[in-house]
Amino acid sequence: GAVVSQHPSWVICKSGTSVKIECRSLDFQATTMFWYRQFPKQSLMLMATSNEGSKATYEQGVEKDKFLINHASLTLSTLTVTSAHPEDSSFYICSARDLTGEVNSPLHFGNGTRLTVT
Amino acid sequence: DAKTTQPNSMESNEEEPVHLPCNHSTISGTDYIHWYRQLPSQGPEYVIHGLTSNVNNRMASLAIAEDRKSSTLILHRATLRDAAVYYCILSESYTDKLIFGTGTRLQVFP
């Protein structure tokens, strides 16, 4: 089945530093990838849509200068949390849809990256 | 975005069938109904999706009401590994993003 790989699976960083999270589709290509954030005991919140070769589309209330997204190829999207603060500590999850599939075909999710900012 | 309403939690015993309900009274004619589940500390996993007709796959069945204002995810024989949060999501046909609601936490007892 289609696999989405996230790296790292967990990271601890100091306040003020930046952290990059990678999301790769291993056996399919994706023109669009999605980034979600999930706080403990809450649901997933869509942060942004990553578009290959163009700018990401951010959901309302998500700072684009804080969460930098780059979708450089059909198999890789990266999310960089810049100048991280403790309130950015969360579970970040990416997902992707096979570009050969229909618009409503299933999304494939990575296993998430747990970010802890100290 | 169209909204869904699910019970916060449900319980089941192992090897019994589980019926997880979802209400989506504001669904439009082109919205697909998706179900995903999330195990602790993992990303969500696709379960099933449909538009109008009932759907079956190796994981579950999806029963869609005739007026499409509600649907039910059916796990035919619950196992301990089915304990998860189950999300019912409406996907608009003109956009490919999924907006998650609060989901139903399913507990399965041996």
**Cβ separation B87–A43 shorter than 8 A:** yes
DSSP one-letter string for B38-107: E-TTS--EEEEEESSS-EE-SS-EEEE-TTSSEEEEEESS--GGG-EEEEEEEE-TT---------EEEE
Read off the pLDDT of residues B42-96 as tens digits, 9 standing for 90 and up: 999 999 999 999 999 999 999 999 999 999 999 999 999 999 999 999 987 667 7
Per-residue pLDDT band for A116 (boundaries 50, 70, 90) equals very high
**Residue B41 near chain A (CB below 8 Å):** yes
Q: What is the DSSP letter of B10?
A: E
Read off the pLDDT of residues A20-48 as tens digits, 9 standing for 90 and up: 999 999 999 998 999 999 999 999 999 99
Q: What is the DSSP letter of A83?
A: S
Q: Which of A46, A106, A109 sits opposite B43 (nearest CB)?
A: A109
**Residue B35 near chain A (CB below 8 Å):** no
Per-residue pLDDT band for A2 (boundaries 50, 70, 90) equals confident
Read off the pLDDT of residues B5-36 as tens digits, 9 standing for 90 and up: 999 999 999 999 999 999 999 998 888 999 99
**Cα–Cα dist B49/B22, whole Å:** 13
**Cα–Cα dist B9/B21, whole Å:** 11
**Cα–Cα dist A113/B39, whole Å:** 15
**Cβ separation B34–A106 shorter than 8 A:** yes
pLDDT > 70 fraction of chain B, expressed in percent and rounded: 96
Residue B96 pLDDT: 76
Read off the pLDDT of residues B29-39 as tens digits, 9 standing for 90 and up: 888 999 999 99
According to the 3-state scheme, what is the secondary structure of A9-46? Answer: CEEEECCCCCEEEEEEECCCCCCEEEEEEECCCCCCEE
Which chain A residue shows the shortest CA-CA distance from B46? A106
Q: Judged by CB atoms within 8 Å, which residues 50-69 of B form the interface with A? A: 51
Q: Reduced to 3 states, what is the DSSP secondary structure of residue A58?
A: strand
Residue B105 pLDDT: 98
Q: Quick check: B2 pLDDT over 80?
A: no
**Cβ separation A108–B42 shorter than 8 A:** no
Of A45, A7, A38, A10, the C-alpha closest to A24 is A7
Read off the pLDDT of residues A55-66 as tens digits, 9 standing for 90 and up: 999 999 999 999
